[in-house]
Amino acid sequence: MENTGYPCPACGAPADLRSGCSGCGRPPYPPAAEVIRLDREIVALGGEAERVRQTYQQLVDRLAATRQRRDRLAAAIRAQFPLPVARPPAVAGGPPRPVPAPTPAGQPPAVAGPAVLAGPPAMAGPPAGAAAPVVVGAPEASTRTVQGLLFVLGGLLLGTAAVVFTAVAWAAVGVAGRALILAAVTAVALAGPLLAVRRGLRGTAETFAAVGLLLVVLDGYAAWSVDLFGVAGWPGTRYAALVGGASAAAALGYARLSRLTVPWFAALLAAQPVLPLFAVEARPRPAGWSLVFVGVALLNLAVLVALRGRATGAALAGRIVAWIAHAAALVAAAGCALVPLALGRAAGTPLLAGLPLLLVAATLLGTAVLAGGPVFRAVAAGLLVPVLAGALLRPVAELRESLLLVAAALVAAGLAAAVRLLPAGTRSGPRVGALLVSGGLLQLAVLMAVVFAGDAVARSLPPWRGAAAGPDFAWGWQLPVAVALTVAAVALLLPAAARPAVAAAGAAAVALALPAVGPTPWPLALAVDLAVGAVLLVVAAARETRSWTVLTRAVAGAVLLGHGLLVGLAAPAGAGVALAVTLVAGVVAAATGRGGSPVRRAVGGSAMLAALLAVPGGGAVALIGAGAPAWWQARAALGTAALLPVALLAVRRHWPDLSGYASAGLAMAAVLVGLGPLAVPADEPVALYAAVAALLVALGGFRTRQPLPAGETARRVAGAVLLTVAVLAVVPVVLTALVAPYGGPPAPWSGRPVGAPDPATLPAGLALTVLALAAVAGGWPRPAGGAGDGSTVSRGPAGWWSATLTALPFAVAAAPVLLLAAGAPWPVVPAVVLALGVAALLLAALAAPRPLLVPVTAPVGLVLTGSGVLGLLATRAGTLAGLGVLVVAATVVGVAGRRAEVRLAGTLVAVAAATALAVTAPLAGGLPLRAAAFTVLAVAALTLAVAAALAGRWHPTAATLDAAAQAVALVGLLLTAGSLRHAAAVCVLWGAAVALRLLRRGESAGRRWAFAGIAGGTELLGAWLLLAAGGVAVLEAYTLPAAALALGAGTLALRTRPGLNSWLALGPGLAAGLLPSLVSVLVAPEPQPWRRLLLGAAALAVVLAGATRRWQAPVLLGGGSLALLALHELGRGWDLLPRWIFLAVGGLALIGLAATYERRRRDLARLRAAVGRMS
């Protein structure tokens, strides 16, 4: 807790910030308490500062001790190694060495970087992490680098000089001189390095040794050029080889004598062309050149072995050179060895065609063993296997080409067996090579088997026409043997876990290759495919093993069964047998695999899916075999597909874990059967087939327990596809039944149309009926999963409603189509359509809210109602009946609708239908169109009365009906176009009706004003129309009634609305009364004396009335009119006055203005203020 006590500054007694002084009673004094708190904080900070000072002093002492120890060690090192360190000279004018500033007394010295230690480079320089001092003109390369560069340049110049001398200046010297010069120069060049080595000048010795050895080669050239000892008569390549060999031997001996490095490289480089130069004279073939280059490679290999284990830089460079030379020699040898392998003979016999390449591979393997690492050894051993296979097979290709396939398979099997006998540590590379050989041969054999299998299928096409026997090849028997041997070889080389899968794939490949043995009839090929495929499929589902083995067996079996089915297309019996075997094998595989691992269960489910697909195919193939027509074949497929929902339900009951695959099979079969008429030229209705298939799909999910099993997505997608196809197929027929059921859209009142039965539309009607059943089955309430009591997910009638509403569009669309197919006379089809549409709309408006109710029934009802009314327009009675039904139905909706917006919509539709009926009824009775205006006006008045009755309860509906009544009245007015008296009568009657409307109690003032304006405006329009009908041309006859109406309304508004000014209330009326007449006076060419007089009197009266009431608008508008009128009169009398009068009036005006200038200004300001005070 914080201490808030302090001594009282007045009396010294103890005090506290909460209670004040205990002695004199002073209130709490915070400054005194703050002083006490700061005293305590100063004491605490002083102790902390003392601790920090002690720590700092300890660090300073440690720094001084460390420096002393470092100086002692540096002095000892300098005494032991007194080698001077080259320091760069000081640069004139350079910056002086910085001198540390003196340390002030009482402060510790600043920490400085350590001084540079004078001694060897390893001990000198700044410590790690410190920046090296930048010295101007410091050396940028080491002395060793500069020395080596000079050596290289010097040796290059000397060698160039020697070459030039030998090639150019040699002829200018005699033979004795030449020999003397060569001997002297060569002796000096070779003796110099020996002396240089003794004096420690190794770099100089290496350079002169290189020059001396180059001179040895040039000596050989010089001897050739002067024909020393008759060597010019020898073959050039042999002499060059001798010179090269002698140079290599000399370099080798000189290297051992001098212990230098360059002679070793010279010997290695000089020895490279010796063997090829010796071989040129013998003119060897490519095989011989391969052996020569192999010899060069062995020479380099010997160098590599000799240098192995040496870690010096020279040894590393020697190994690099030897590796490059060895690789180049092997590449050249391999290139030469490929020639006899391609030609098929070496040394005159095919048996040795592959021997040169085999020697190259063996040399590479020896290199890997002697000088390579594990990866190199594995790669070399792996390359040896395919080379050995090629060497063994090339003689067979030359001598017994007909046996090449089986020989290759035997070689692959033998190599695989040999690789298996190798030790485990050396087996990896050869195994890869043997796999390349066996795998490549297996791919070739399988490809050939696939070609034979494709040929067997091609011979069975076109279907049902039989098939010829297979081709007869002399080597055909080798193909299944080769496939079997290569499969065995691959199985030997692969791990034991992969062998069952390889065996399964091999069995399938052998079965496909068996027809190559000879001219095999298609039933035999079919039997082999079905037997092996069924066994593989059943074994895959029955035996528990690794997943890839199961999948391989299953895929192999499926491929054979599929191939057998294609081959069986040669005859209906063959296809039927293939489908039957597929069905049986699928069921057996499903039964044996359902209890195993997930992979086995998937194989069993896929097999059952294939079995379900075989059912409709078997029905179609059976009728094909019986010779039935194409439509019966399609119907048989559709009929047998009806068994699939039953099978699916059985699978769900007994094998529920496979129900997803069964659902997918049903979906695929239904799609194939439903879309069959699109592919089979059977002239069958695709809509009906698709609808029946959709019904089968829906029955497959009938009363399926929740949650839905796996695979239901495929069934639903199939149902959607079939539904889409069926709907697209029946849409044209449905549109015809709705829009033109009797040959075309009927013209209004064109007479009773005549129809006839249309059997072509019957399939579409049946398809719609089937789709309705499918919708009911698909939307049927589903039992809850795990309930066990039969309870459904949708309890109560909600589930039934959903199913019914889903089927409703198809059912109502089927009715007119079936009636059209039956040839129902007019007006049965439009009447039924209208009744269905009205019923759907009434259901949507009156029924309790349910899911899908409005989204389904409302669009259906609107489409059907519109179509029915359109179909009834053919006669007057039909039109009146249709409109009457609409009026009654809409009225029912407007009165009994469950929601306010529904009632409002029904009321508006009722008004619109009643208006249409009011227009149509007089026209149907033969009356002119203007006569319909009064019946329409009656509808508007009735609507206005209904709005008045509803105004207290349903205000939004009442306001909408008021607006609708005005719109209907406007329609009635438009119907009187061409008859002003009828239009005037309509306006007068409607004005009276609206005037009665505003008398209803409870109306707001705003609505009363609106009704009053509409009534007055309508009456005014009626008056104008009557005046126009009577030919009245006086302007005031039209403007004064409007002005009087506006002034009356404005005066009433001024009395009832306190905040209203005269401009808004009276301005429009005054403008309507004064401005048209004033414009006529000012513009018209006639004098119009009476109009001028009456206008002036009216303007004066307006000004007086406004001045009396102090209203701004009447005073200004009336005064402005009087002023303009006065100016007009002045202008008319201008020419009647003498010219001097104008001068006199002007002079007097100026004198008067001058005499009363100040008073006029005051009067003008007073006038402005007075006008501003008016309302």
Residue 882: partners with Cβ closer than 8 Å, 6 or more residues away: 830, 834, 868, 869, 872, 873
Q: Are 292 and 277 in contact (CB under 8 A)?
A: no
pLDDT at position 1134 is 63
Buried b (16+ CB within 10 A) or exposed e, 572-590: bebbbbbbebbbebbbbbb
What mean pLDDT comes out for the span 1136-1154? 48
Q: Which of 681-690, 966-975, 976-985, 1129-1138 has the lowest mean pLDDT?
A: 1129-1138
- Rounded to a whole number of angstroms, the CA Rg of the chain reads 60
Residue 715: partners with Cβ closer than 8 Å, 6 or more residues away: 663, 664, 666, 667, 697, 700, 701
**334-382: pLDDT as tens digits:** 999 999 989 888 888 888 888 999 999 999 999 999 888 899 999 999 9
Q: Are 342 and 356 in contact (CB under 8 A)?
A: no
Residue 443: partners with Cβ closer than 8 Å, 6 or more residues away: none
pLDDT band at 437 (very low <50, low <70, confident <90, very high): very high
**CA distances in angstroms from 1154 to 1151, 1159, 1161, listed in the order given:** 5, 10, 12
| Cα separation, 421 vs 592, whole angstroms | 40
Q: Which of 141-150, 748-757, 870-879, 937-946 has the lowest mean pLDDT?
A: 141-150
Residue 126 has pLDDT above 60, yes or no: no
Residue 96 has pLDDT above 70, yes or no: no
Q: Are 416 and 485 in contact (CB under 8 A)?
A: no
Q: Are 724 and 799 in contact (CB under 8 A)?
A: no
**Highest mean pLDDT of the ranges 182-196, 200-214, 452-466, 1089-1103:** 452-466
Could you tell me the pTM of the whole model?
A: 0.60
Residue 105 has pLDDT above 70, yes or no: no
| Cα separation, 71 vs 81, whole angstroms | 15
Residue 424 has pLDDT above 70, yes or no: yes
**Highest mean pLDDT of the ranges 489-493, 635-639, 903-907:** 489-493
With a pLDDT cut of 90, the percent of the chain lying above it is 23
pLDDT band at 329 (very low <50, low <70, confident <90, very high): very high
Residue 454 has pLDDT above 90, yes or no: yes
| Cα separation, 189 vs 195, whole angstroms | 11
What mean pLDDT comes out for the span 259-279? 85
Q: Which of 543-552, 1049-1058, 1101-1110, 1147-1156 has the lowest mean pLDDT?
A: 1147-1156
**163-201: pLDDT as tens digits:** 555 555 555 555 556 656 667 777 777 777 777 777 777
- Give the dihedral of Cα atoms 483, 484, 487, 492; nearest 10 deg: -150
**505-555: pLDDT as tens digits:** 999 999 999 988 888 899 999 999 999 999 999 999 988 888 889 999 999
Residue 839 has which token pair?
Answer: 């019923």
Q: Which of 922, 831, 914 is nearest to 878 (CA)?
A: 831
With a pLDDT cut of 70, the percent of the chain lying above it is 82
Tokens 């002045």 — which residue? 1130
| Cα separation, 34 vs 663, whole angstroms | 89
**914-964: pLDDT as tens digits:** 999 999 988 888 888 888 888 888 999 898 888 887 776 556 677 888 889
Q: N- to C-terminal Cα distance for the chain?
A: 78
276 — alpha (psi -120 to 50), left (phi > 0) or beta? alpha
pLDDT band at 1078 (very low <50, low <70, confident <90, very high): confident
